[in-house]
Structure 1
Amino acid sequence: MSERRSQHVVDRVQLVTATVDDEICLSKEKVALHKGYRVVKRVSDIILSAAGLLVISPILLIVAIAIKVEDPAGPVFFSQMRVGTDGKLFRMYKFRSMATDAEARLEALIAKNEVDGAMFKMKDDPRVTRVGRFIRKISVDELPQLWNVLNGSMSLVGPRPCLPREYEQYTDYDKQRLLVKPGCTGLWQVSGRNHVGFVDMVKLDIYYIQHRSLLGDLKIMFRTVGVMIFPNAAY
């Protein structure tokens, strides 16, 4: 991402997050009021995820073959327990983009975390494979999550689900981002992603929850396609 574009992203994120109160400002009861929106969103998730899996099946096959060619002994898919709505655990699926012993090597890399707050990000993570680096760059590694959308554990649009170890570090304020179903994409992903720190990511998610709508979700999905074509700091 160019310096000018990066600054534009930072300015846009700051403009949005400045409207979010630093105090706890959401309630489970208030979030649950949007029943009509949630019903339509669920129906849309089922239709779009099923259609998406069918349409992109050739891409899924090509990526699966590429992963196997690079590392024949390792699995194609990677599954991991994540924390979803109201702190409930579910199993999330992705294409494997790291070495098979990635989890075992994490502890040795924690000190090199490049993102503040309760998440781990490292630009030159040595655990990432060559194929993995490419599919992460264009967010193709996330495509198997359409199955999570179809089975109802995720939505197409929403806050990213966190890891249990990250959730343990969450404050009550941070936990507000888990009041709605997690998504494959969201405001954070289309707003600079790894250029946006944890604190601002939480604020972006709270802003999304406060202003969520079908039109807003549609805009985020369209922006996600743009991010896949012109990557915005994904790694």
Structure 2
Amino acid sequence: MPSSDAGFPGVASPGPVNPRLSATFAPTADPERVPGVGDRLQRFIPDASRQVLAVYGDDEDSPDCTIVLYEKGDDDAWNEIGRWRGHNGRRGWTTVHHEDDLRTPMGVFTLSDAGGVLEDPGTRLPYDQSEAYDVPKGWGEAHRHDFDYVIAIDYNRFRGTPPNDPTRPQGDGRGGGIWLHVDHGDGTSACVTLPESGMEYLLRTLDPAWYPVVVMGDRETLKV
């Protein structure tokens, strides 16, 4: 969650950054390509990756999204193994994220580190359990379980550090602390949320040996 929501400064990584989405390409139905993802972002998915979490925003300015986990089979086809409804930034999506813009950055990002208030549910990702993930008391009952489980999206953070590490290599103005976390029924400052059962499933399924990444943006832009 960005610092304005999570109570933490951002986390950081020199990993993949948002490519500019300017050219137009027709999406393909090739089973060896992630469904609904066009050439502009497809080329940023590492060849070694066998797990892709696709976040399909309903609209450029919408806080609502569908989240789908794909795994690459032995035939190199992408197979859907999980699907959930969730939320993204309250104002939708952006190709150039800034702190407090209430939009989620589009792009392809690695998924490297996890944590939360609750005990490790059996993940292969490095997991940081700590009461430091408790939400501020002033947030209200609806947010009480937001950070029971979190997975850091490697935007403006260093991989291999806990999700709440405050370092932002691209500077504080570019935002940070963008996580996958438990849904509270509404849009976020920039994070992506899904039901607690979905977070548990992701934590138990994502495998660092399969180089998991998240591909995210609104549906129409993802097709480009």
Normalised TM-score (structure 2): 0.25
Greater helix proportion: 1
Structure with more of its chain in strand, by fraction: 2
Higher RCO (Cα < 8 Å, 6 or more apart):
2
Q: For the pair shown, which has the larger CA radius of gyration, 1 or 2?
A: 1
